Amino acid sequence: MADLVCEDLNMAFTNPQTGAVVEALKNINFTLKKGELLSVLGPSGCGKTTLLNLIAGFLNPTSGRASLGGRVIDGPGLERGMVFQQGALFEWLPVSKNVDFGLRMKSTDPAHSRQLVEKWLDIVGLQGFGDTPTYQLSGGMQQRVALARCLVNDPDVILMDEPLGALDALTREKMQSLVLELWKETGKTIIIITHSVEEALLLGERLFVMAPRPGRIHKEYNLQFAERGLSETLREIKQDKEFNEVREEVLTMIWDMEEEIMGRG
Amino acid sequence: MVEWFSDNRAGFAAVIVVLLMAMFIWSIVLGRKQAVLTAKDEVFGDPQRTRGGWYWALSGVATLMLIWFYFSWGIGRAYFPTAANEMCQVAKLEEVVSPIKAALPIGSRYYKSTLLVARNSDQLDTVESELPTDAFTIPEQAKLKALISKVRSLIVNSSDPKNLSREATKKLDQLVLQLNALSMELRGGLEGFSPTAKALAQPKWGTTHVEIPILPITARGMLFDGVATKAREAATLFRKIRNHPPANVTIISDVKARIAKFKKVNASGKFDKKTDADRVAYVKAVERIFRRLDDGTIFPANSLDGVNGAIAGLDAARDHARGSLGTIEAIFFPGIGVVKSRTQCTEQGSARWLPKPMDVIARFLKLANPDIEGGGGYKGVPLLWWKWLPVADLVDFVTPDWIADLWPGDYVRHGIDGTISPNFKDRLLNFARGDLYLGSIPALDGHLWDSVFRVLIAMGLGIFLGVPLGLFMGVSRFFKSFFDPLIELYRPVPPLAWAPLILTIFGITDDGKVFLLFMVAFAIMVISARTGASGTQLSKIRASHSLGASDRQIMWNVILPNALPEILTGVRIAIGVCWGTLVAAEILAGTTGVGFIENIARTVSDYELIWVTILIMGMLGLLFDLIMRWVIDKTIPWRGKG
Ligand SMILES: Nc1ncnc2c1ncn2[C@@H]1O[C@H](COP(=O)(O)OP(=O)(O)OP(=O)(O)O)[C@@H](O)[C@H]1O
Ligand SMILES: [Mg+2]
């Protein structure tokens, strides 16, 4: 039972100069069962990254707590892997060394880690790129390396902060399929943050639409498009009538929020 | 080989100059052609326009070399190997005649007499107007005025042609005759002149150290040499001519008597201190002017016109006799020409401090010759060579002597029969002192190696200690704040400002210089490692945390490689700065090293050697930088692509 549970999470940043307090997150409560795929949407500044950082253990909440499988999160850990927007690869290492970084830190037997690296490079479609320097890879390939680097450690939860934000439309669609495949095959719990409503709907089994000031979960959806994405092509789903209806609804919601912010600001 | 090159360097220069000219012209032609070809599809200001263009680099190098050859007289010597010797003979004549010229308008614009009259009249006026009325009685003042006017009359008498003594007139005429005879001789042609065997046996210009051979080796040189010797007589005669008008003789003895009288009164001791000082000073001032006027060096102006004309004639004859040499000198020997002083003839102007390229190479080859007994190296040390280094010396260097003190027991004492049998503790001490034979290993040796070695040791220490500290300062609040004041306080001080202090503490041994360089390298390494470490992207750090890396693993596997570009750039800068500092430190103190050579060369005005050291340092600095650039390209290909 490795459920991810957030109870009354609060996160407030205090500007040390002005003393002004920003309530980045207020009273966040949710439970994510093992193997669920959650996507998070929301206007800029509503606390999405903050939420992810809390779960990853990079930040400590002001109050409340997040726990994974009953263990309170109080720092970064192997069981929670993170994929960043820009990959955050180690450019001085070739692809395979990037991927087996976590294994080397654990001093895993080299022969075993070589196997694992082979396997994961294969899965993300980068077979034969093991010795390539990462700076010679395209953006999409870099994101796949980052994914493999995270997965090779076999984490329980994968956290992704706008992982596909910097990719072109075509690569992006391929990567979305890859994420869905991985989700199906590994059965991992995944949280993915995105700015694209379409992406959130396609990938999310559950979807949180967050609202800013204070950062909170505005509305929650349960969707079946991710399930369908495993068998149908994403293009087909995007033409689905229901898909478009939900998309319009969420878009309007976010538009309204943005307008409110503008008006206030 | 070296000797052969040395002896034939003028010939080499001749060939090289032709090659340089050909290269210069060829590269310009090529460059023009390329410029025409690419002109139409290029936009001014586009940085791409600066790419390539090796032919311009070639013409640049050729220009530089030709300028060097030209202004160092390298071209002149290559094609006119005897010219400087002839210039030397002309210079001999100039040297002899110069005292005569200096007294005449031809050499100094005014007659020396005119200048004397002007100066002394001025001073007499001043003295007269400054007569201290409170120090002298009224009658005395009148007497002094009379005295001054008597002195003034000396000038008047000397300037009147009527008063010129017959003897002076005679001697001046004689001088004119002598000078005219010299002119005649100069115009008489080179027939019958030939150099002596001794002169021909002299080393040629540019085969010995520097000198221009002083004995004439051409017919023209013989002519000038001979005339110069004869001109010496004329110069002596001129020096002896004096103008003592009969009227002045009585005035002089009268003035002397009057001054003596005043001095006597002054010495009587009946004046108070201040009056006494004023009186003595005033009489002395008058006497000083008088002394300058009683030696007969003022002539009536017209009386010297003949000599002035004769000297002008001699100059014309000189130019006539020089013939083509004048043109050659004007074109190929820029500067002031050759000047003869006492026992040697030397190049003047740019050629004095800018040695000829061939001489620099010859000097370098001599310096680089590892055969010390054969005159190679410098001050008994080769430039760069190897030697057998006793292993014991190394042991001595790494093991401190006090290690032996730690061993229990006492050192041995001499026995009752005066014998000594060392115990283990003694042997330990001998070992620590390197007092035993452990075999030898080959090691590099020489001035150049010493300099490089100092830099390398200092750099090694600087990197070894500075990089870890810098990395920690980049990630730790304590390290940053604790060490910041220390480093920021000593770093801005120019290294050479530390040099006197450090060299006094450590003496002239290597330690001081290495420590000075270490200070330089350390600060640079700390700062660059710190910049590199603190520039690590937060997401990379977070990623490695999520991947299970410990703090130490992150330091070693993420922060260090991430800082590597900055660190290597730091090394590159530090090597450059160390190299600059080292040479200056070696100039301050030391017994080996490139800077040391330059310093000694400076004190003996060995311009060739100074330039050799300058070029060596430039080349080596460039080499260091190229190596570092290569290392940076090879080791951190990801630089700027993260
Ligand atoms: N380290 C911090 N210090 C102070 N305030 C912060 C800090 N990190 C985030 N905030 C504030 O918290 C709020 C939420 O930030 P967060 O980065 O979580 O937004 P986000 O939803 O990820 O936005 P985006 O979609 O633009 O990435 C913002 O108002 C931001 O200004
Ligand atoms: Mg964000």
The predicted-structure confidence for B347-402, as pLDDT tens digits, reads as follows: 898 888 898 998 898 889 888 988 888 888 888 888 888 888 888 888 887 888 88
CA nearest to B562 within chain A: A92
Q: Does residue A37 register a pLDDT over 80? A: yes
Q: Does residue A259 register a pLDDT over 90? A: no
Residue with more model confidence, B42 or B259: B259
Instruction: Using DSSP, state whether B203 is helix, strand or coil.
Output: coil
Contacts of B53 (CB under 8 A, 6+ apart): B31, B34
pLDDT of residue B426: 86
Task: Indicate the pLDDT class of residue B164, thresholds 50, 70 and 90.
Answer: confident
The predicted-structure confidence for B181-234, as pLDDT tens digits, reads as follows: 999 999 998 888 999 999 988 888 876 655 788 999 999 999 999 999 999 999
Measured CA to CA, the distance from residue B454 to residue B459 in angstroms comes to 8
Average pLDDT over residues A76-90: 88
Average pLDDT over residues B28-42: 84
Q: Which of B538, B540, B547 to mutate to test the interface with A (most CBs of A within 10 A)?
A: B547
Average pLDDT over residues A131-146: 89
pLDDT of residue B318: 94
Task: Indicate the pLDDT class of residue B474, thresholds 50, 70 and 90.
Answer: very high
A187 Ramachandran zone, left/alpha/beta (phi>0; psi -120 to 50): left
The predicted-structure confidence for B271-310, as pLDDT tens digits, reads as follows: 888 888 889 999 999 999 998 888 888 899 888 999 999 9
The predicted-structure confidence for B501-541, as pLDDT tens digits, reads as follows: 888 888 777 788 889 999 999 999 999 999 999 999 999 99
Vertex A74: Cα angle to A93 and A159 (nearest 5) = 50
pLDDT of residue B210: 54
**Choice from A9, A11, A13 to test ligand 1 binding pocket (greatest atom count within 8 A of CB):** A13
Tell the residue nearest (CA) to atom 14 of ligand 1.
A47
Helices marked H in B133-165 — which ranges? 138-159
Domain boundaries, chain B: 2-71, 93-209+217-330, 389-443, 448-635
pLDDT of residue B64: 95
Helices marked H in chain A — which ranges? 48-56, 95-99, 101-105, 110-123, 139-151, 169-186, 197-203, 225-229, 234-239, 241-264
Decide if B561 and A92 are in contact by the 8 Å CB cutoff: yes
CA nearest to B570, candidates B431, B442, B471: B471
Q: Note the pTM of the prediction, 2 decimals.
A: 0.80
Sorted by where each starts, the structural domains of chain A and their CATH numbers stand as 4-79+194-264 (3.40.50.300)
Residue with more model confidence, B425 or B60: B60
Tell me the average pLDDT of chain A. Answer: 88
Average pLDDT over residues B87-115: 92
The predicted-structure confidence for A224-244, as pLDDT tens digits, reads as follows: 888 888 788 888 888 888 888
CA nearest to A84, candidates A177, A158, A162, A190: A162
Tell the residue nearest (CA) to atom 16 of ligand 1.
A47
pLDDT of residue B333: 94
pLDDT of residue B642: 56
Tell the burial category of B377 from Cβ atoms under 10 Å away from its Cβ (0-12, 13-18, 19+). Answer: buried
pLDDT of residue A125: 86
Measured CA to CA, the distance from residue A36 to residue A205 in angstroms comes to 7
Helix (H), strand (E) counts: chain B: 29, 4
Task: Indicate the pLDDT class of residue B462, thresholds 50, 70 and 90.
Answer: very high
Q: What percent of chain B has pLDDT above 90?
A: 51
Chain A CB contacts of B552 below 8 Å:
none
Q: Does residue A1 register a pLDDT over 60? A: no
Query: How far does CA A90 lie from the centroid of its chain?
Result: 20
**Poorest-pLDDT segment among A7-11, A247-251, B429-433:** B429-433
ipTM exceeding cut-off 0.85 for this assembly: yes
pLDDT of residue B163: 86
pLDDT of residue B180: 95
- The CATH H-level (homologous superfamily) assignment of domain B448-635 is MetI-like (1.10.3720.10)
pLDDT of residue B527: 94
Task: Indicate the pLDDT class of residue B625, thresholds 50, 70 and 90.
Answer: very high
How far does the centroid of ligand 2 lie from the alpha carbon of residue A206, in Å? Answer: 19
Confirm or reject contact between B640 and chain A (CB < 8 A). Answer: no
Average pLDDT over residues B44-73: 89
Decide if A135 and B641 are in contact by the 8 Å CB cutoff: yes
Decide if B547 and A135 are in contact by the 8 Å CB cutoff: no
Helices marked H in B300-401 — which ranges? 305-322, 324-332, 350-353, 357-368, 391-398
How far does the centroid of ligand 2 lie from the alpha carbon of residue A79, in Å? Answer: 22
pLDDT of residue B222: 95
